[in-house]
Structure 1
Amino acid sequence: MAPELIDLHTHSNRSDGTDTPAELVAAAAAAGLSTVAITDHDTTAGWDEAAAALPPGMQLVRGAELSCESRDGRGGWCTVHLLAYLFDPSSPVIIAEQSRLRVERRRRLRLMADKMAAAGLPVDADEIFAALPPDAPAGRPHLAAALIKAGVVGSVDEAFASYLRTGGPFHIGRADTPVLDAIQMIAEAGGVTVLAHGFARHRGRTITAEVVKELAGAGLGGVEVFHPDHTPENRAELLELAADLDLLVTGSSDYHGGHKTIRLGQETTAPEMLDAIVSRATGAPLLTGS
């Protein structure tokens, strides 16, 4: 029997990936995954297409990656991402917050694009928006793609390092969801939350272990330990923290298609951890292709 390969963090072009939801599912099947989660940023718009494309026997976890703000545990604030799984997408609170965030993301992208264009960079916000689905959240990876297309940079990583990093010359902040509100919102919609790439410190400011403990007390279900951006030291810290706090442990690729050089299934989740997520969730079922 083939081993179960479970990847619980991927993106389609409904947010900042390059694959359609159907292409994402097909790519996951081709990579040998038994289960894939679609976790686009602040939207559930790709759920139905992904579900319709499921090949026989393959499982789909429907979710989203939520952009949140949190105390960093050092006297300041930082951005954190939550992976929300198997919640009810018809929750009025979630619909309203996702709509607000889409507007906020587009406002931010336009301001950053205009700032870059004023500095002479070949970036046009209207062109970026025209290429996106109307309900897709817009983000910095779309600006990175525009810079790559124009030949300014050769990769997404280079675009972020040179132009798009937090605190960089063109960075604009945004009003994300307070993390404690997000945990409560997903719990009330029957879902399970997992802290995404929580200790990937090279991305920017991260929260401390003490803040993770606070989130666990508020209902956080797990931590994403096995992620391409986590060092062995990061993983060891998080594993110890998860054991202390009785949190689930997941692993995921954070696949974005052609926007990153990460392959599906590069990091995976143990089957018993997926079983625990499914057993705790009441908002949406795990789907299996027939």
Structure 2
Amino acid sequence: MRRYDLHTHSVHSDGTTRPAQIAADAAEAGLAGFALTDHDTIDGWDEAREAAHLARIDFLPGIEITTKHDHRSRHLLAFGIEPAAGELFDALAEVRRSRVARAREMVRRLGADFRITWDEVVGSEDARTVGRPHIADALVAAGYFTDRTAALTQALHPASPYYLGSSAIDTTEAIRMVRAAGGVPVLAHPAAYRQRTPVGSDELREFAAAGLWGIELQHPENRDDWLPELERAAAELGLTATGASDYHGAGKPNRLGERSSSAETWDGIRALAAVPG
């Protein structure tokens, strides 16, 4: 059976691996293809596409959009969007500007107790979407924490005095903009353990009415006890269940291809996407 990983991150956001290496690793892992879904940017598409061609596997251009609904963080995967879509990319540019301002302020707050600098946080010139993972990596490099997860759950936890909330696009509005840009919207990790509550059935119904196509039910961070209700709601609403690893290289323990989608799901997305590969 052909397997596809629909959720990966590179150095262009908060991953630690270049797009070309993800393509090579995907081929080695026996995947038939992968999607690159960096946060709020499509900068890695060209490199990933070329490397996938060389590795003789399929590539699907994607993005993970930072969104919120009723003050709750919700992330949206969008596949095959048209890069010339002005409305969506104007909104994404504003999100990136806000993320940088937020990160700078968090680094300033951390400076009272941790000796890290903004230059140490920014690090890679490739990353345009600076966020908590980049700050966490700087804290690890400075010797304050053992790994990224420890820094995120301690100094950078939402209850921490160093934490600052982020701005985001409204989820239903993001779904609408993705559809207008010729893309295929899929709700990311709706039952992730780091969320205080899973996405509710009423919330999912609202997203489906806005044009949501799928929901990432197979994800290594989804809580098993939260999934049955979501599975029932997704089936009732006709949403396609997808699977993916949410691979971040060394940034997360998630392994490339540990969750995957079928050829039928992959082909369904490509048939609808403005940019299928």
Partners of 1:192 and 1:221 within 8 A in 2: yes
Structure 2 stretches lacking a partner, 5+ long: none
| Correspondence list, 1:20-59, <5 A | 20-54=18-52, 55-59=54-58
SS in structure 2 at match of 1:18: coil
> 1:96 and 1:135, CA in 2 relative to 1: closer, same or farther beyond 3 A?
farther
- Cross-structure match for 2:61: 62
Superimposed CA distance per residue, residues 93-127 of structure 1 (whole angstroms, 9 cap, x where no aligned partner): 12212211111111111111110111x21221132
Deviation at 1:207, TM superposition (A): 3.2
SS in structure 2 at match of 1:163: coil
Partners of 1:78 and 1:206 within 8 A in 2: no
- Cross-structure match for 1:101: 95
**How many residue pairs align between the two structures?**
276
| Correspondence list, 1:206-217, <5 A | 206-217=198-209
Partners of 1:80 and 1:206 within 8 A in 2: no
Out of 78, 92, 109, which is 1:84 matched to? 78
| Correspondence list, 1:175-186, <5 A | 175-186=167-178
Deviation at 1:205, TM superposition (A): 4.7
**Which residue identity lines up with residue 270 of structure 2 in the other structure?**
V
Partners of 1:78 and 1:205 within 8 A in 2: no
SS in structure 1 at match of 2:114: coil
**Aligned-partner Cα distance in 1 for 2:55–2:75:** 32
**Which residue identity lines up with residue 266 of structure 1 in the other structure?**
E
**Aligned-partner Cα distance in 2 for 1:31–1:20:** 16
- Cross-structure match for 1:166: 158
**Which residue identity lines up with residue 13 of structure 2 in the other structure?**
S
**Aligned-partner Cα distance in 2 for 1:80–1:56:** 33
TM-score for both structures, normalised by structure 2: 0.95
- Cross-structure match for 1:152: 144
Out of 232, 236, 247, which is 2:228 matched to? 236
Shift >4 Å, 4+ stretches: none
- Cross-structure match for 2:6: 8
Structure 1 stretches lacking a partner, 5+ long: 72-76
- Cross-structure match for 1:122: 115
- Cross-structure match for 2:189: 197
**Aligned-partner Cα distance in 1 for 2:196–2:225:** 17
- Cross-structure match for 1:74: none
**Aligned-partner Cα distance in 1 for 2:195–2:248:** 16
- Cross-structure match for 1:245: 237
SS in structure 2 at match of 1:174: coil
**Which residue identity lines up with residue 149 of structure 1 in the other structure?**
A
**Aligned-partner Cα distance in 2 for 1:198–1:92:** 28
Deviation at 1:232, TM superposition (A): 2.0
**Aligned-partner Cα distance in 2 for 1:167–1:177:** 23
**Aligned-partner Cα distance in 2 for 1:56–1:142:** 29
**Aligned-partner Cα distance in 1 for 2:37–2:224:** 25
SS in structure 1 at match of 2:194: helix
Once superposed, what is the RMSD of the aligned Cα atoms?
1.5
State the identity %.
37
Partners of 1:166 and 1:204 within 8 A in 2: no
Superimposed CA distance per residue, residues 229-276 of structure 1 (whole angstroms, 9 cap, x where no aligned partner): 112223323221211110011011000001111110010112211222
Out of 13-22 and 135-144, give the one that drifted further. Answer: 135-144
**Aligned-partner Cα distance in 2 for 1:170–1:206:** 26
SS in structure 2 at match of 1:105: helix
**Which residue identity lines up with residue 94 of structure 2 in the other structure?**
R
